[in-house]
Amino acid sequence: MSLLILDGVSRSFDGFKAVNGMTLAIEPGELRAIIGPNGAGKTTMMDIVTGKTRPDGGTVRFDGHDMTRIDEAGSARLGIGRKFQKPTVFETHTVEDNILLSLRDDRGVFATLFSGADDTARVAELLALIRLEDRRLDLAADLSHGQKQWLEIGMLLAQDPKLLLIDEPAAGMTDEETARTAALLRDLAGDHAVVVVEHDMEFVRALDCRVTCLHQGRVLAEGSLAQVSANEQVVEVYLGR
């Protein structure tokens, strides 16, 4: 059974249909790229899946749960990790604390108030994976833009989610960082389902996965990158610009 299913989902803002009858299914462990012009509804789709925005109609199911009645924290607890379009880390905390706060653990007020030992081994492992071991005790504010993106990805992994929703990870990264990010995401797929929104077609090519093109709040085309790029409508609204 699919991990994430959107069926006929709609949402309008002041009469403007940002998402309009969107139907989409993501399998467990799948890597999926989502492309589409600005305003196609990519970010709004993620808002709906994570309970930030309530849909006007349609169903959203994740791992058997109805996501239209769940808040952001609830979606995280069910196993959805989300990276924002604008990198968001806790700037006044150290890199290490950013990871520590993200580790899978009891999230209740009193649990954190009296929390004991930290899983130092897991923190070290994650810091190695995102290549920030030597920045461990620096404030997150002092990282470069690309490093913040990586830290945020590390924070998602610390949650050990079933589904990763990643909005434009390559923005602001150097070519080398971009290539490494694509490799990392490919690595993660299999253990986690990964949905990546990206405009950078080089990056999408590097992901080497199934591609969905959104336009005006609905799915325009879906298939391999070759199939989608050959689609006339896709060329017209997106690639041909």
Ligand X SMILES: Nc1ncnc2c1ncn2[C@@H]1O[C@H](COP(=O)(O)OP(=O)(O)OP(=O)(O)O)[C@@H](O)[C@H]1O
Residues that bind other proteins (CB under 8 A): 50, 71-73, 75-77, 81-82, 84, 88-94, 96-97, 100-102, 107-110, 112-115, 117-118, 120-121, 123-125, 127-128, 133-134, 136-138, 155, 159
Half-sphere exposure of 42 (CA within 13 A, CB side): 27
C-beta separation of 235 from 221 below 8 A: no
Q: Which does 108 bind (CB under 5 to 8 A by kind): ligand X, Mg ion, other proteins, none?
A: other proteins
Hey, what are 154's tokens?
């590390």
Rounded least distance, CB 37 to Mg ion, Å = 11
C-beta separation of 208 from 10 below 8 A: no
The residues with which 32 forms a beta bridge, in sequence order, are 195, 210
Q: Binding to ligand X (CB under 6 A): which residues in 66-95?
A: 85
Which helix (DSSP H) or strand (DSSP E) does residue 166 occupy?
strand 163-167
Residue nearest to Mg ion (CB): 43
**What span, in angstroms and rounded, lies between the C-alpha atoms of 238 and 139?**
39
Which of 11, 20, 30, 43 touches Mg ion by CB under 5 A? 43
- Residues found near ligand X in the complex (CB under 6 A): 13, 18, 36, 38-44, 85
Residues that bind Mg ion (CB under 5 A): 42-43, 85
